Amino acid sequence: MVHHDTAEEYAVLPRHHVATHDEKLIITASSLGTVFEWYDFYLYGLLTAIIAAQFLTGLNPTTSFIMALLVFAAGFIVRPFGALVFGRIGDLVGRRYTFIITLLVMGLSTFLVGCLPTYKTVGVAAPIMLVVLRMFQGLALGGEYGGAATYVAEHAPAGKRGLYTSWIQITATAGLAMALLIVITVRSPVTGVGEEAFKEWGWRVPYLLSGLFLIVGLWLRLKLHESPVFQKMKSEGTASKAPLTEAFGQWKNLRIVLVAFFGAIAGQAVVWYTGQLYAMYFLEKMLKVDGLTANTLIIIALACATPFFLFFGWLSDKIGRKKIILTGCALATVTLFPAFHALTTAANPALARAQATAPVVVTADPAECSSQFDPVGANKFDTTSCDIVKNALAKAAVNYKNVAAPAGTLATVTVGTDVFTAPDPKVLAGDERKAAIAAFTARVVGAPAVPAKPAADGKPATEAKPAVVGELQKVGYPAKADPEQINKPLVVAILFYLVLLVTMVYGPIAALLVELFPSRIRYTSMSLPYHIGNGWLGGLLPAIGFAMVAANGDIYHGFWYPVAVAAATFVFGLLFLPETYKRNIDD
Q: Are 411 and 386 in contact (CB under 8 A)?
A: yes
Q: What is the pLDDT of residue 2?
A: 42
Q: What is the pLDDT of residue 93?
A: 78
Average pLDDT, integer, range 408-428: 88
Poorest-pLDDT segment among 63-67, 99-103, 277-281, 342-346: 63-67
Q: What is the pLDDT of residue 268?
A: 96
Most confident stretch, 69-73, 224-228, 256-260, 518-522: 256-260
Q: Are 442 and 389 in contact (CB under 8 A)?
A: no
Q: Are 420 and 444 in contact (CB under 8 A)?
A: yes
Choice between 43 and 566, residue whose per-residue pLDDT is larger: 566
Q: What is the pLDDT of residue 14?
A: 42
Encode 49-63: b = buried (16+ Cβ within 10 Å), e = exposed: ebbbebbbeebeeee
Split at pLDDT 50, 70, 90, the class of 350 is very high
Average pLDDT, integer, range 393-414: 88
Choice between 546 and 389, residue whose per-residue pLDDT is larger: 389
Question: pLDDT per residue over 288-343, tens digit each?
Answer: 998 778 888 988 998 899 999 999 999 999 999 999 999 999 999 999 999 999 99
How many percent of the chain have pLDDT more than 70?
A: 87
Q: What is the pLDDT of residue 21?
A: 59
Q: What is the pLDDT of residue 98?
A: 82
Q: What is the pLDDT of residue 374?
A: 56
Query: What DSSP character marks residue 450?
Result: B
In three-state secondary structure terms, 371 is coil
Compute φ and ψ for 325, nearest 5 degrees: -65, -45
pLDDT higher than threshold 80 for residue 54: yes
Enumerate domains of the chain plus CATH numbers.
23-244+253-348+484-576 (1.20.1250.20), 354-474 (no CATH)
Q: What is the mean pLDDT of the chain?
A: 83
Average pLDDT, integer, range 145-154: 78
**In terms of Cα–Cα distance, which of 516, 481, 509, 527 is closest to 169?**
509
The Cα 70–Cα 128 span in angstroms is 9
Q: Are 175 and 35 in contact (CB under 8 A)?
A: yes
For 451-517, the DSSP string reads: --B--BTTBPPB--B--B--HHHHTT--SS--TTT--HHHHHHHHHHHHHHHHHHHTTHHHHHHHHS
| Helix, strand counts (H, E) of the chain | 28, 4
pLDDT higher than threshold 60 for residue 539: yes
Average pLDDT, integer, range 525-552: 82
Sheet holding 418-421, edge to edge: 401-404, 360-364, 412-415, 418-421
Alpha carbon separation from 213 to 98, 116, 183, 185, 289 (Å, rounded): 18, 19, 15, 17, 32
Average pLDDT, integer, range 193-215: 87
The Cα 76–Cα 534 span in angstroms is 8
Poorest-pLDDT segment among 74-83, 203-212, 250-259, 260-269: 74-83
How many percent of the chain have pLDDT more than 90?
A: 28
For 286-351, the DSSP string reads: IS---HHHHHHHHHHHHHHHTHHHHHHHHHHHHH-HHHHHHHHHHHHHHHHHHHHHHHHHHH-HHH
